[in-house]
Structure 1
Amino acid sequence: MLIGIDASRAVAARPTGIETYSRQLIQALLALDSSHQFRLYFRTAPPADVFPGADARPISFPRLWTHARLSWEMARRPPDALFVPAHVLPLVHPRASLVTIHDLGYLHFPQSHPWRQRLHLDLSTRWSARAAAHLLADSEATKADLATHYGTPLAKITVAYPGYDETLAPVRDPAAIEAVKARYAIRGDYFLYLGTLQPRKNLARLVAAFASLQLVPTLVLAGKRGWLYDALFTQARRLGLEGRVLFPGYVPEKDKA
């Protein structure tokens, strides 16, 4: 069987959660001892060292890549099945299509998303939930949300919990630890949050709780700035937490472990 995979998110220059999920899941699939063939679709040519030896198909297009360019590819040269690791199924797709839905947080916390982003997520996820042959969900909560809000039959959803990154492990070298801390101006012990800075991550509550504590380590909120992040910086200043709450920005893979 020829299985196509939307690998467009797997080669992001600064990967976050969904991009890491996509990359590592594709790498694991390619490593299987399987009779299936895999074809990977990209917006641009991927780095040679990411998926070496893979059947990579860069298909560039300026806008609406998923619904326009990927759909056109599906119409002209369809694989037997298509897997989309993140929410959005192209308008044209094989009957055997599988999509991962990570969460429906935009329905529970609409105030935490810009309205354009909320509308896009709602429409694209609703479409994928209806049109895909089967869905993967990251949790039982997401499975229940799909059934409740979009009427997706429970039998159509399989919960597959995300794995862990095998490249991350405790660092035992004190000098290496101190070098990374110095690079981000971190002194002593610290609490760490690592992820995109967005209201939906509930970071405002974390900062408020941290402000109530005395004589505790530094709080490091590491990650790229997402939508509506300004309120978090304002809150930290208002609570007088300059120097106690650090925002080092995006952390590259080499500094995570």
Structure 2
Amino acid sequence: MQIALNARILQAPRTGIGHYLAELVNALGHQPGVELSLFHGWGWSANLPEAAMPGYSRISPVLRQIPGAYQARRWLEQRRFDQGRARTIDLYHEPSLWPLAFKGPTIVTLHDLTHVHYPLTQPAARLKEIERRLEQGVKQASLILTDSQFIADEAQAYFGLGPERFVVAPLGMAARFHPRSDESLQPVLQAHGVEPRGYFLCVGTLEPRKNLTLALRAHAELPEPVRQQFPLLVVGMAGWKAQQLNDELRKGLASGHVCLLGYLPDEQVAQLMAGARALIFPSIYEGFGLPVLEAMASGTPVILTRRSAMPEVAGAAGNYFEPEDLHDLCNVMTRLVDDQTHWQVCREAGLQQAKLFSWDRCATLTARAYRQALGG
């Protein structure tokens, strides 16, 4: 099977969808009969590009102000797609938002419906294009891949499609997420002034739906000696309306018990994940929640809400709290500090839960969807 994958998103700093695509491409390389061609917006390649660092923008701020900039870029991409290797492929897989036009079978990965629930997370012009093109693309797709059953159910209701059009292919975790010895973690942890299992960790783009404000407030409610012994480290780049977090962040940073680390290289994130007392993932909407899986695979207990797809990922290994309940989150954090037996049980449960997920499994289900769409 000659498969075209739209890999343009890999030119941007890698967050959830970028990591999904990079890992999927690598895993599909081990699937028999699958040959990939990666379209990067202006041409084709057989190799993954290097990940960009923050500050990269696929459309410059100046171009965003030009009427029709998104449509013009889209038209140019479509032309490059049509003029290139698209003529020789059997199936086109669009892994992010809306697909380019293709006369053959098309598969779309729908990670979530964030643009429906949180439309202001997108620039206005981009949102308009999503709303104009996504529904048409989804309805024309031979099959729609989703990361979770929750999103499959939500998309069926929203688009009015039957369950036979959907294939759930849960995500996996990269090999860098695994338990590590305290000794191996020391260089990175010392650079950030923390000890193994001596800090809480938040990972994710800084934006309102991630609910980071609640984590900051809960940490601030802990007794002073606990905050001093277990500071809160925040990893992620600024997203939509990150300024809403300013007051809470300013208070935490001023206290010396919160450290904002920004966007870090993948290996550093993996080491911080393996060394944390717990991952706090207070998000109120996720199509999967990849950091939850990565933390469990690293031997780190997870604190999260029972919202959207996240219970599918954490299962019984999760330490759940109500997303609006400050004291509930405080209690969960306190128990993971005070009760070593409970902490160890959560660690072991998470390691077992993580074994249910892998990129090989995701690639196998994806390749099976390719064959199904091609009539195999």
- 2:179 corresponds to 1:180: no
* 1:173 shift after superposition: 4.4
Q: Indicate which of 111, 126, 130 corresponds to 2:135.
A: 126
- Greater relative CO (CA pairs within 8 A, separation 6+): 2
- 2:70 corresponds to 1:72: no
Structure 1 CA distance for aligned equivalents of residues 44 and 81 of structure 2: 20
Structure 1 CA distance for aligned equivalents of residues 124 and 137 of structure 2: 20
| 1:59-208 alignment runs, 5 A limit | 64=70, 67-76=74-83, 77-78=86-87, 79-90=89-100, 92-110=101-119, 115-116=124-125, 118-174=127-183, 176-186=184-194, 189-208=198-217
Structure 2 CA distance for aligned equivalents of residues 111 and 173 of structure 1: 42
* 1:94 shift after superposition: 3.3
Structure 2 CA distance for aligned equivalents of residues 35 and 47 of structure 1: 19
Deviation per CA, 1:42-91: give whole Å up to 9, x if none.
Answer: 1368999748xxxxxxxx9996587324422443443211011112201x
Q: Contact (CA 8 Å) 2:41, 2:77: kept in 1 or not?
A: no
* 1:249 shift after superposition: 0.4
Q: Indicate which of 215, 228, 241 corresponds to 1:228.
A: 241
Give SS of 1:248's match: strand
* 1:129 shift after superposition: 1.5
The answer for unaligned runs of 5 or more in structure 2 is: 50-57, 64-68, 272-376
* 1:102 shift after superposition: 0.7
Structure 1 CA distance for aligned equivalents of residues 169 and 266 of structure 2: 25
1:248 aligned residue: 261
1:8 aligned residue: 8
User: In structure 2, do the counterparts of structure 1 residues 48 and 152 end up closer, same or farther at CA, with 3 Å as the change threshold?
Assistant: closer
* 1:154 shift after superposition: 2.1
Give SS of 1:9's match: helix
* 1:122 shift after superposition: 3.6
Amino acid at match of 1:167: R
1:55 aligned residue: none
Structure 2 CA distance for aligned equivalents of residues 160 and 208 of structure 1: 35
Amino acid at match of 1:67: R
2:33 aligned residue: 35
User: In structure 2, do the counterparts of structure 1 residues 30 and 69 end up closer, same or farther at CA, with 3 Å as the change threshold?
Assistant: farther
1:18 aligned residue: 17
User: In structure 2, do the counterparts of structure 1 residues 169 and 26 end up closer, same or farther at CA, with 3 Å as the change threshold?
Assistant: same
Structure 1 CA distance for aligned equivalents of residues 172 and 115 of structure 2: 24
Structure 2 CA distance for aligned equivalents of residues 10 and 148 of structure 1: 30
User: In structure 2, do the counterparts of structure 1 residues 241 and 135 end up closer, same or farther at CA, with 3 Å as the change threshold?
Assistant: farther
User: In structure 2, do the counterparts of structure 1 residues 117 and 11 end up closer, same or farther at CA, with 3 Å as the change threshold?
Assistant: closer
* 1:200 shift after superposition: 1.5
Give SS of 2:202's match: strand
Deviation per CA, 1:152-186: give whole Å up to 9, x if none.
Answer: 33221111111111222222142x42321233344
Structure 2 CA distance for aligned equivalents of residues 160 and 213 of structure 1: 39
Higher strand share: 1
The answer for unaligned runs of 5 or more in structure 1 is: 52-59
User: In structure 2, do the counterparts of structure 1 residues 212 and 120 end up closer, same or farther at CA, with 3 Å as the change threshold?
Assistant: farther
Q: Contact (CA 8 Å) 2:176, 2:267: kept in 1 or not?
A: no
How many residues are treated as equivalent by the alignment?
Answer: 245
* 1:36 shift after superposition: 3.6
* 1:239 shift after superposition: 6.8
Structure 2 CA distance for aligned equivalents of residues 42 and 222 of structure 1: 28
Percent of aligned pairs with the same amino acid:
24
Q: Contact (CA 8 Å) 2:37, 2:45: kept in 1 or not?
A: no
Structure 2 CA distance for aligned equivalents of residues 124 and 187 of structure 1: 49
Structure 2 CA distance for aligned equivalents of residues 145 and 250 of structure 1: 31
* 1:114 shift after superposition: 5.5
Higher helix share: 2
* 1:15 shift after superposition: 1.5
Amino acid at match of 2:2: L
- 2:226 corresponds to 1:218: no
Structure 2 CA distance for aligned equivalents of residues 221 and 35 of structure 1: 42
Q: Contact (CA 8 Å) 2:42, 2:80: kept in 1 or not?
A: no
